[in-house]
Each structure stands twice: as C-alpha cells, then as structure tokens.
Amino acid sequence: MKLAPPPSPAPSSGEQVVQLTIEDIVFRSDDGRFVVVRGLREPDGGALTAVGDLGQVAIGETLRLRGRMTQHAVHGGRFQVTAFTPIVPTSRAGIARYLGSGLVPGVGPALAERLVAKFGDQTLDVITQQSSRLREVSGIGTRRAHDIAAAVRSRRDEAETMSFLHALGLGPSLARRLLKKYGDRTAQVLREDPYLVAEEVRGVGFRTADGIGRASGIAADDPRRAAGATLHLLARAIDEGHVYTDTQTLAAEARSLEVPEQLIAPAVAALASRGMVVVEDTAVYAPPLYNAEVRVAAAFARLATPRKEPRDAAQAVERAAEGAALSIEQRGAVTASLRSGLVVLTGGPGTGKTTTVRTLVKAHELLGHRVLLAAPTGRAAKRLSEATGREARTLHRLLEWSPQESSFARDADSPLDAELILVDEASMLDLQLADSLLDAVPPRGTLVLVGDVDQLPPVGAGQALRELLGSGVAQVVRLTEVFRQAQRSRIIAGAHEVLHGRPPTPSAAGERGDGELFIVRAREPEVIAEKLVEVLRRMQSSYGLDPVREVQVLVPMRRGPVGTERLNELLQDALNPMPGARPGAFRERDKVMQLRNDYERDVFNGDLGEVRRIAGGTTWVSIDGRDVAYTPENLEDLTLAYACTIHKSQGSEFPAVVVVLTSAHHVLLDRALLYTAITRAKTLAVLIGEDRAIARAAAHSESTHARSRLAERIRRAAMQVAMAQR
C-alpha cells in the first residue's frame, strides 16, 4: 500500500530540492556516514555532485535531495544534502540500472537486462506482486524468485517510508533510527501518536513530534498533545537532575509549548491511570524514579542501624593504622565502619580520604572480612585500585550487568558476597544506580560511601549522597584538615579558595610544588584557541606531558565558539592532522568519548578511548584495554574528546588539565563547576580565559538542589525501623 505523506516542508532559506539519478559512488567513508555521488539531474540531465549522509545509496537509484549548493576549494561546486528521499524508478533504463546495481542480492546487470526485456516498465510490479512469473526468465528458480521479490519489496517499502519521514522534515540519521525501531509500522505509529514516539526514540523531541502531529491533523487541544507535552516536560526535569516535577511547574511550563495549561491536570490524571506517571499530592514522577526513591530510602534506613563491634576491632584498627599517622577524624572513620552498616566519608582534596580508605580496607581484611571496591566510572575505579593496591571495579561490573536480561545479576536474591562494600566518587551516584547498588548489599553487609558533595551533581536524576547527608541518618565522617604535603599544591590550595568563594591564586613565577596552577588570560575566541594550542605544546616541551593521553581540555559547554564541538575540530587538526580529511570525522589515533551507557557492549557514559582503525564501515576504538566496534548505527554514541565538558570529566583524574572559562559561558559558571574542573588535575592545571569569568564562577554558588523527597523518605523509614526494633 502506498503511503500518503504529508506535504513536504518548504526548504529553508537558501535550500533547494533536486532529483538525481546516481551514476557513480565517488566516495563512501569507512564509517558509512559520508557519501559523495555523481549523477544526472532530472529532467534536464545535467551532471551534479552531491555529498552528505546518504546511507547505503546505490548506483541506479533516483533520489530527491534537499540541500544547498556549496563551493569546495578543491572539488568545486557540490550539492550539500540535508535530507533525501529514495524514488523507485519507472523507466526501463532506470529499472535496469536499479536492479543491476547490486542493491538486490543475486541480480547483476545481465539478469536485470533480461528481466526488463521480459516485463518492460512493469518489471518492479511483477516482482513485488506476481513473483512466480519471474521463473519465466532463464536462470531464475522458485527460491531465487522469492529472494528477489523479498529484497525489492523491502527496498520499496523502505523508500516509501523514508519518503514519508523526509516529508516530515526528519534528517537521515533520525529517519534510520525510526525505521530500526518500528520497521514497516513506522508511518502508522507516527500518525497514531507521534508524542508517544518522542518518549520512545532518542532524538524525537516534543517539537518534532508536535510538527508531525499538527501536519497529521492533531488539534492544538487534543488530549494526546497535552499528554505528550506533560511527558516531555517531565523528561526535561529528569534531564536537569530532578527526580520529580510538580503540577504547578508543569502548568506554567506548558505555556512555552503553546499547550493550554488547563489541559495539563487532565493529562496527568490520564497518564496516571495508564501507569505512565505516579502522582503523590502535587509531585509527578516517572514510575521507575518513584519506585527507586521509595526503595533507596528503605535500604538506607535499614543499613544505618548500629552494629555490634567485632571483638578484635580495636587491635585491627591499630595494626591497620601503623605508619599512617592518622588524624582523629581519619581514625574515627575507620572505627565507624566497624560499628555501623552505613558510613559516609567526605572531604575536600588533600584531607586524607585516600589514606583513610586504605586503612579502613586493611582493618576489615585483618578481621577476615571480604571487601569489594567499586566506583561509578572506569577511570575512578582504576584510581581506587591504584590507591588501595586491590582490585576495584565499575559498579556495572560489580553488579554484573546482563545485556541479555537488561538487568543486574546481583540483587536482593543474589547479593554481593562481601562484609564490606566501599564505593568511591559516590557523589556521582544518581538515584537509579544507588537503587541497584543497595539492592545487592547483603543484609549484614557494611556500605561505605566516599565522596565530595562540593563537586558537580550526578549526570542522572537524583543526588543520592547529598540526600543521604541531608537526612541525618547515616554515620558521617567529614575530613577537614588539609595535610602539610597537600598544602604545597597550588591545585589543592586553589580548590579550597574556590570553595570559599575566591578565585584560585596561581603559582608564582619559578615556584615548584606537587601541583602547579597557572592562569593564561585571553578574551576573544580566536586568541583563546591560539593560546590553547600553545599551552598544550608547552606542556609537552616543558613538562613532558603527552597533550592527547595525559592532558584533558575541559570546557563548560558543547556549543559556541569556545565549546567542545569547535575546540575538538581545532585540536584534532593540531594534534592529529590528516591532510584532506573532513573536519570532525573520526580518524585513526583520535581521542574519543562514549556519550551514553551501552550495556550490551559494556561501555559507559564518559568512557575515554582511542580510535585504532576504521575499515569496512566499522570504527574500532580501544577502551580500557579492549577494542570496541562501532557501526554507523551506533557511531553517534561517540564524540571527539580532545576537549570535553566538565560534567563529563566527573570521577576522572588526569596528570594535567586545561580549563577554558569565558564570559560566554556565564549561564553555567558556578563554584561547583570550577571546583570540579580544578580538582581533575593531579600535577598541573591551567585556566585559560577571562579573570571576570573565573571570579564569577568562584563567587556564584548556584543551588545544586534537585527536586527529590529522598531525604524525608529516609528519615521516615529510619523512624519505622527504630520503632520495629523496640
């Protein structure tokens, strides 16, 4: 059945639409995302070169292209494609080229010519509707006829669906994601409820869904539109770190989407009746987050009960502390872990968290306790392992994620086999990861969370460590004394200055210490870029630091003249040049980062890697010592990482960092951001930018509060546990 697409959106300013029959594939990038084709324009027959993301387009195909003419310094005029629609050919010559191009398995040019000679311009209709007739052509049996018909039907259905999607203004990448998700049901699903699609497919936001919905005739006051807006606003709140939103906020924000606010309350009620949201008085939760908040509160309260101290605890602490010169606070943390099932160890840089952790772990081992160490990210786990001399794993590996089951193997029914579970960088624990961790802690196990809540909050929704501290239920040890050796580090001293609202003081000329900090002043984006490359090269010549593997450039945001996107292209050309290469396209030896959790391939948001090779449409990336394959379908999960956002650097430590801060970043400049950036550096930190931007960041203590009821739930749950034990 032919799809009837809505009217195609008018090309934006400067764009035009052309129809091209492909005569030659000039170039196809190894990752499959960039194609250069030559062909003949219809109807005038003029030659044209087109470039862009054209998927697996083949010689002989006809495409309707939307884009604009550009002028390349070497290759001349080229049509830059922003969207395309495959068109099934109708002429005898076009059909012969189409079938013989290799697009249909088992059909070459000779067989294609025989098919067209037999069936003429009806060839494609015969193939798709009367495939048994194909056996009238020599060389085609029953099985081959079936295979040819299936391939042509699939390609024709795909062409019609792609035509429908591009008519809606969707780009090639998003169109392929929708096809992968819904297959031949894509158009039907989009027509029935595009707003629900926005919740199921990454990249389809409310605005896109609304454009589809309005083009399909969905009225402004349609309940589906109000429900879609509600889910969109709830998802946006979650993306901002909130565990829930409230009905008043939803109604107010609906106006920005041109949704009448009086429609939100009925939409919330309808979604709740379908189990798509949970409503608790004025709070509106996504069900997974509501359930996680309730479970986490109960688990924290259960663990926080006092424990009977082991018989030889005092001797174990003394033996573990030998030669460590522990402060009273540090010794208290070790003892607390033997008297409570839930301990939080917190403190800024240089206060001795690492020494305390080593001693704490040793004390438990001396008592015969099995100990497990973990952290949210691979880099943080590696640092914990180096600090303790013991194996440390990411939380996902500790909890044994199963891609087949889409769940963790370790849970309440199969808990972790340990008396002590210690998690470093616990400030990165969002609500759902905390829920999975707590579910796997054995009933008599002790959980020690080590973290610094002055850093940026977790990327995911909910701040488990901050809420736990706010509840007053856990045994908390705050390390405040900065040790003498750490005092010699300008990085640590500067970090503490930032915590007190002051810009960091740079190292004096000729000053040497365990951690140096410098400020390079620049204002204009072009000057900042020049200074950045100059600083990286000076780090290499003066300090022997590899600018790719040992230095990380940190920036507050992705976009803009000094955002990660622009700086990555600049640094890629400066540090990994490849003459003639397309800017931003991956190259061998590129530094890259994973952008989201991919449990099947065991790579996670923020993991860093290096491109090893690119061949046959696959990009191989070395991550944590193993090669991970990326195909065109999941290559968008990867980005260049010569520069990354400060948020993405959480849990990591680098020999050196270069932090770019300018007034253009003013929306994001705050104390937690600057503090987190500086403390990522181990031996050398350089700030490039404006004094006023650095001063604003240090002075501006933006509230990191996320909407959550976890703290009060923990308190209530703890009261219930205490009453049950009386």
Residues 452-473: pLDDT tens digits?
A: 988 988 888 999 999 999 999 9
- Joined together, the tokens standing for residue 652 give 């990591």
Average pLDDT, the chain: 87
| Dist CA 197 CA 174 (whole Å) | 12
Model pLDDT for residues 510-560, shown as the tens digit of each residue: 666 678 999 999 989 899 999 999 999 999 998 999 999 999 999 999 888
User: Average of pLDDT values for 408-437?
Assistant: 95
User: Average of pLDDT values for 605-627?
Assistant: 87
Are 718 and 473 in contact, with CB atoms under 8 Å apart? yes
Cis peptide before 43 (omega within 30 of 0): yes
- What is the pLDDT confidence band of residue 486, given thresholds at 50, 70 and 90? low
- What is the pLDDT confidence band of residue 74, given thresholds at 50, 70 and 90? low
Judged against a pLDDT cut of 80, whether residue 1 lies above it is answered with: no
pLDDT of residue 4: 45
- What is the pLDDT confidence band of residue 337, given thresholds at 50, 70 and 90? very high
| Dist CA 585 CA 31 (whole Å) | 9
504 φ, ψ to 5°?
Answer: -70, 145
User: Average of pLDDT values for 87-94?
Assistant: 78
Model pLDDT for residues 142-180, shown as the tens digit of each residue: 888 888 888 888 777 777 777 777 777 677 777 778 878
Q: What is the pTM of this model?
A: 0.78
| Dist CA 648 CA 676 (whole Å) | 11
| Dist CA 557 CA 563 (whole Å) | 5
Strand partners, 280: 283
Name residues whose C-beta falls within 8 Å of residue 177's C-beta, 6 or more positions apart in sequence. Answer: 201, 202, 203
- Specify burial of residue 95 (Cβ count, 10 A radius: 0-12, 13-18, 19+): buried
Of the chain, the percentage scoring pLDDT greater than 70 comes to: 95
pLDDT of residue 703: 58
| Dist CA 283 CA 709 (whole Å) | 10
Judged against a pLDDT cut of 60, whether residue 7 lies above it is answered with: no
Helical H segments across 661-701, by residue range: 671-678, 691-699
Least confident of 277-286, 483-492, 531-540, 616-625: 483-492
* Consecutive H or E run containing 575: helix 564-575
Are 104 and 151 in contact, with CB atoms under 8 Å apart? yes
| Dist CA 478 CA 329 (whole Å) | 7
- Joined together, the tokens standing for residue 716 give 């209530």
Are 712 and 720 in contact, with CB atoms under 8 Å apart? no
Nearest to 435 by CA among 48, 710, 234: 710
Are 461 and 431 in contact, with CB atoms under 8 Å apart? yes
